[in-house]
Structure 1
Amino acid sequence: MEKLEALKRLFPGKVDLSESERLRHGKDEGYPEARPVLAVVYPEGVEDVQKALRWAREWGVAVIPFGAGTSLEGHLYPVREAISLDLSRMNRVLEVRPQDFSCVVEPGLTRKALNQALKGTGLFFPVDPGADASLGGMAATNASGTTTVRYGGMRQNVLALQVVLASGEVLELGRGVRKTSSGYDLKDLFIGSEGTLGVITRLTLRLHPLPEHVHTLRVFFPGVEEAAEASYRIMASGLPVARLELLDELAMRALNRYLKAGFPERPALFLEFHASTKEALEAERASALELVREAGALEVEAATTEEERRRQWEARHQAYWALVHLFPGHRFLITDTAVPLSRLPEMVRFAQGLLREMGLTGNILGHVGDGNFHTLIPVLLEDYPKAEAYAERLVEKALELGGTCTAEHGVGLRKRKFLPKEHGPALEWMRRLKALFDPEGLLNPGKVV
C-alpha cells in the first residue's frame, strides 16, 4: 500500500505494522469493541509528531494519540481508517524545578516513573488514577483519582502545555506559574479534549511537598448508604481529608480472594489524612472517628506502618482486577458519574437499588469525597445490553440530580449521547471549536462531540 510505504520511509524504525500491535492500539480497557488501526507510529520528539500529522493530512488518514492504553470509554477505537500515534518513547523528565514546585515532562512518561524520578526532592506528583497511565493521556482525559479530594485532578495540576495542532502548528499554552489572567485559557481547553483538538507533546506540572505525617483508616459499615452518608459528613465538616474512597462488600470479598487481604467483607471507607504536625493529625483523626461513628460505623482499623498503608491503597487500586478474577469469562461494563456532594447518598442508594431492580450483580466504589463513584458490572456477553441500559439510567439520574455523565473517565464514544442533555446549546459551540482546531476532522474523529 503506497501510503504505508510513504509512512515507513518517513519514520524508519518507528512504524509497527504487526497485527497484534495494531489491534492493541485499537482498543482500551473498558470499551467492548476493538478494531486494528492502520499502523502504529512511535514519535520521539515534537518534529516527529509534526511529520506524522503532515502525512495524515496528505493521505486523509485519521490520527489517534496513544499513551498507555488505560482509558475506558472507547477513546482509542478507530471509527475510520487511522494510525495510532504512540507517544511512549517521548518519556523523559526534561526539568525538575524544586524551588518552583514544578517539573517539565514529555507526554509518554507515566505517573509512577515521574514520582520515582522525584525521589530525594521532597516533592511528589499527586494525581493518582490507579493505573500507571501516561501523563499526556491523563491530561487528555482530565484524569483524577484517590488524592483529588485534596490535591485536585489534572486540570489543577497542569501549569502549561505544548501541543501540536492538526495543521502542524506548535502552540505553547499556559505559563509555569501558579496563576495567570493573561488571555483566553486555551490550556484548560486542551485538558480533557481526548486528543480531538491537538497532540500534547510537553507538560509543565505542579508538584507538592511530601506530607510529613500520614494517618490511614479503614472504616466498615452495615451498608453502602451509611458509608456514603459518612463520607458526606466528613466533607461537610471541612476536615482536610487527603483520600476518601468507598468500597462495597463485593469489592471487599473480591480483594480477599485476589490479594488474601483479610478485610471484613462489609462496605468500607478508606481514608487518609496528611498533616504537617502530629497534633493536627490526631485532631483530624479524632474528628473523623466521631463523624463516622455517628453515621453508623461498625468497626475501625488503622494502618500503622508505611507498608500497611501501601497495601491498603494497592488493594484499592487492584479492586477492578480483583473483580475480574472473581468473575472469570465475564465482560465488564465500567461507568462513572458524579453528583453534588449533598446528593451522593441518594445517588448511591439509587445505584444499588437499580442493580437489584434489573437483576444485575455490580460493584460500587469510588472517590466519594468528590461526589464521584464507579459502578462495575460483570456480565456474560448476552447480558451486556442490560448492563448498558443500567449505565444509561444511572447517568440520567445523575443529570437529574445536577451531576455529570462522567467525572474522570471522559466521553470517548460511549458517553457522547449524554452530552446534549448535559450541555444544551453549549455542545454546538464545542463542535465549532473542534472544527476550528481540526477542520479536516483528522484528530481522534468521532469522539466527544
Structure 2
Amino acid sequence: MVGAQILSLPIASATGERTPFIDALFTATSATCVTGLVTVDTGTHYSTFGQIVILLLIQIGGLGFMTMATLFAFFLKRRISLKERLILQEALNQSDMEGIIRLVRKVVLYALTIEGVGALLFTIRFLFDMRPGRAVYAGIFHAISFFNNAGFDIMGEFRSLTDYVDDPLVNIVTMLLIVTGGLGFVVLSDLTDLGKRKRLSLHTKVVLSMSGFLILFGAVVIFLFEYSNPGTMKQLPLGTKILSAFLQSVSPRTAGVNTLDLASLRQATQFFIVILMFIGASPGSTGGGIKTTTFAALLGAVWAMIRGREDVVMFRYRLAQERVNKALTLTLLALALVITATMILSTTEDHHFLMILFEVTSAFGTVGLTMGLTTQLTLTGKIIIILMMYIGRLGPLTLGYALSPKQERALYRQAEGKIIIG
C-alpha cells in the first residue's frame, strides 16, 4: 500500500501525471511479490524515481521483510529478540533457531555479491548500446530484478530481453542470476560450506537434482516444440535456438524474462510453461510456485506407491509422512486457487482460455510471464491478479494457517474405515 501511494504520485511517472491507483497498486504488489506482471510499461511509464521505488520494493520482497528488518537491526546495533528469531526461523524455512542470525548475514552477503557481479557484467555489455550512466543504471536494475526473480525490465514497450535473443553474455548472466536466486539461500549456504562439511544436506540434493532436471527437460521440450515455429525459433541459428530454449526453460522458475514472443509460441509450449510456472522455484528462495521440493515429494510418493513401498525414500533418506501430506495439501490448495481464479477471469475477461490460465498461473507462481493479457485486464481482472500475486508470495499454506481457527489436540482417534480408490 505504501508503494502504491508513492507510485501514484506525479513525480513517479515519466509524464508528471498521476498514475491511476489501481495500476500503481498492481505494480507495487507485483514488485513486492517479485512477480513482474505490469499493466503499464516500467521503462517508459515510470520516471527514474518511480523505477527506483520499484527496485527497492523488489529487493525488500525478494530478501523478505524479516531479513531486511534484521539487517536494519544490525546497523542500529539492536539485539534480536527470541520472538524475532522464531519468525526468522519460519521465514527462512529452518528446522531450528541455531545459526539463524548467521544465515541472515549470509543471505544479505550472497544477495549483494551476486547482484553486484551481475550488475557489472550487464553494465559491460550495455555500454555497447547505451550511454555510460544509462548502462550502469540498467545493469544494476536488471541484476537486482533478475536475481530476485522479479522479471521487471526497463527496455521499454514490454520487450523484455527479446532484443538480446542472440546475445550469449546477456542470456547466460540472466540465467545464472535466476537460478542462483531460485535455489534458495539455504542451498547457497550449504554449497559454500561444502568444503567444511564435506557433504550436502538432503534438502540441497533434492533442490539441485530437481532444478537441474526441470531446466534440462524443459529446454529439450521447448526446443523440440518451437524448432520449426516461424513465429519464434525457425529463423534463428542453431546456437541461438538452444540458448533461447534454455532461457525460456529457466524463466518459469518464477523470473518472468523472455527472449521469444510468448504469444507466438505453440499452444503445447504455452501449456508446458504453465506447468513449469506452477512448480516454480525452491523453498527459502526469491521465487514462488508450489516449489521443487513439493513436486519431488509428490513424485516420490507416486513412485513408492507404484513399487508397493510404504516409505518415500530420497537419496537413502526416508521422508516423514507429515512432509508428504504437507506437499499434497499445498498442491491441492494451489490447484484450487488457480482453477477458481481462472474460472472467474474466464467470465470477466473476453480472451482465450489458455491466455487466462497462463496469466493466473504466472501470478500465482510470482513468475511475471504473460501472453499479453495483463495490459487488457478489466478492473475485476486486475484485482483478481493482485490477490493471486499476494497469495502466491505468501503461500497458500501460510494463508490457510492465518485464517484457520486455533487447532486443538484431538483426545482420541476414530475407528479405521475403508473406501475404494481408483
Fold shared by both chains (TM-score > 0.5):
no
Identify the structure with the greater helix proportion: 2
Identify the structure with the greater strand proportion: 1
Q: TM-score if structure 2 supplies the norm length?
A: 0.30
